[in-house]
Structure 1
Amino acid sequence: MTGGRLFVFIYTLCQWICYFFYLNVMWLFCSLLGGIIFGIGPSTVAVYAIARKTKLGEEDFPLFRTFWNVYKAEFIKANALFLMLLAIGFVVYFNINYFRLFDDMFHMGMQVFSTIIALMFIFIALYIFPVYVHYDLEFKKYIQYASALSILHLGQTALMILSLCLYTTFFISFPGFIPLFAVSFIIHLNVWLAFRTIEKVESKGEQLKEVDYVKIGQQI
């Protein structure tokens, strides 16, 4: 590698590190701004919206203003989606641990059933936010479409789960990186993998109405 190429590589790497760090800081700040419980949802959707724009090749847009506009515009809907997922996840987790306390056939069967529901929940969770920031659908259809994508493309879903496991292992091993880009990077990775499925579906002719952030007040 020549000196010029090395400089370009280092410069590009530093740009991406700053990009992920900046998004991570905005996500953390706006999550705290919403009192954590009401801030995580819209902050997460805002990062997903930016990750979508980056994935689609858009470059010249104001990062902070885009994040803030999406955060404000999607505050109620994003909270509804996040709190719904949080509630479902809690119920599934509680059921699995509750049924593990018993060893009779009925409770063992319920544990297996709850585990299947948990896997389905994970499948949907992997696609729900990429679908949410890409398509303009009725609320219930986000879940239906995310569910269909995850089941009909199990290979890609398995790759997403594997990537998530490796990612989690990395940050458990190196927790110092968590405040730097833990959230922003995993969201971009999730968008990149999910959009491989979404673009494959769209290439076959199934086109849904995409989100128009300008229409709902995002002057970006």
Structure 2
Amino acid sequence: MLSGTFSARAYSFFDTLLWIAGLNLLWIVFTLLGLGVFGAGPATAAAQIAVRKRAAGDAAPLLRSFPAAYFRNFLKANMLSLPVVAVAAALVLNWNYFSHGSGLFPQLMAAGIFLAAIFLAGAACYLFPMYARYELPVPQYLPMSSRFAVRHLAGTVILLFVSAAVLYASSCLPGLIPFFSIGAWLYLTGWLCDRFFTANDESVAAAAEPAMHPALQGASTA
């Protein structure tokens, strides 16, 4: 029995590693297909849709589902990603400018920009997993992911820690980047966000249920 359980877990582990490697390769290929800046958003959307399906137990072939999701969401995903990229670029340029300045004001500005960048990174971690799960008007995704990041600080800290850990591992072992780094980050953040969203939906539904049945609530109180 123990041997069978170990074999099943080992198979699941290596199957997941292989799946992550495939996701990593597809993300790179389709990002390059979109000339980088125009391909990263659709590739990330396709990856998070694939991660959510896998988390739900859907064994759809990655080689078939990823390209379909990429082209189907190309326009909307760019509408999501390009503003975030523009804001991130502006924060980097401004931080670079103020961090090299002397005096109190430039240093305070650099610190404020750094905090804003951390907040943007936290919101961005939720952005495409939220897109993969919920049907919303495109302009609402970033404000919703920002509010979710603030209201669920523990989850946001976990996502930022995972992102920092992946970045650190990739800087120490650059050979991971073309094979695992991007796919691992997409898989871990997508899986975690799916759990956070599920827990939030359940808590919202539980809180709304008494309001939907006031007569039953009064009867139980009596």
With structure 2 as the length reference, what TM-score do the two structures score? 0.84
Q: CA deviation at 1:166?
A: 1.7
Q: Does 2:56 align with 1:19?
A: no
Q: CA deviation at 1:125?
A: 0.9
User: What is the rounded CA distance, in whole Å, between the counterparts of 1:189 and 1:42 in structure 2?
Assistant: 18
Q: CA deviation at 1:36?
A: 2.1
More RCO (CA 8 Å, sep 6+): 1
User: What is the rounded CA distance, in whole Å, between the counterparts of 1:46 and 1:53 in structure 2?
Assistant: 11
User: What is the rounded CA distance, in whole Å, between the counterparts of 2:113 and 2:6 in structure 1?
Assistant: 52
User: What is the rounded CA distance, in whole Å, between the counterparts of 1:131 and 1:192 in structure 2?
Assistant: 11
Contact 2:98 2:107 (C-alpha < 8 Å) held by counterparts: yes
Q: CA deviation at 1:43?
A: 1.1
Q: CA deviation at 1:206?
A: 5.7
For 1:121, the aligned partner's letter is: L
Partner of 2:129: 130
Q: CA deviation at 1:124?
A: 1.1
In structure 1, runs of 5+ residues without a counterpart are: 208-220
Contact 1:149 1:197 (C-alpha < 8 Å) held by counterparts: no
Contact 1:127 1:194 (C-alpha < 8 Å) held by counterparts: yes
Partner of 1:55: 55
User: What is the rounded CA distance, in whole Å, between the counterparts of 1:14 and 1:153 in structure 2?
Assistant: 32
Partner of 1:93: 92
User: What is the rounded CA distance, in whole Å, between the counterparts of 1:53 and 1:129 in structure 2?
Assistant: 14
Alignment of 1:40-79 (within 5 A): 40-59=40-59, 61-79=60-78
Q: How many residues align?
A: 206
Alignment of 1:188-207 (within 5 A): 188-205=187-204
In structure 2, runs of 5+ residues without a counterpart are: 207-222
Contact 2:122 2:159 (C-alpha < 8 Å) held by counterparts: no
For 2:197, the aligned partner's letter is: I
Contact 1:171 1:178 (C-alpha < 8 Å) held by counterparts: yes
CA RMSD in angstroms, aligned pairs only: 2.1
* More divergent stretch after superposition (92-101 vs 176-185): 176-185
With structure 1 as the length reference, what TM-score do the two structures score? 0.84
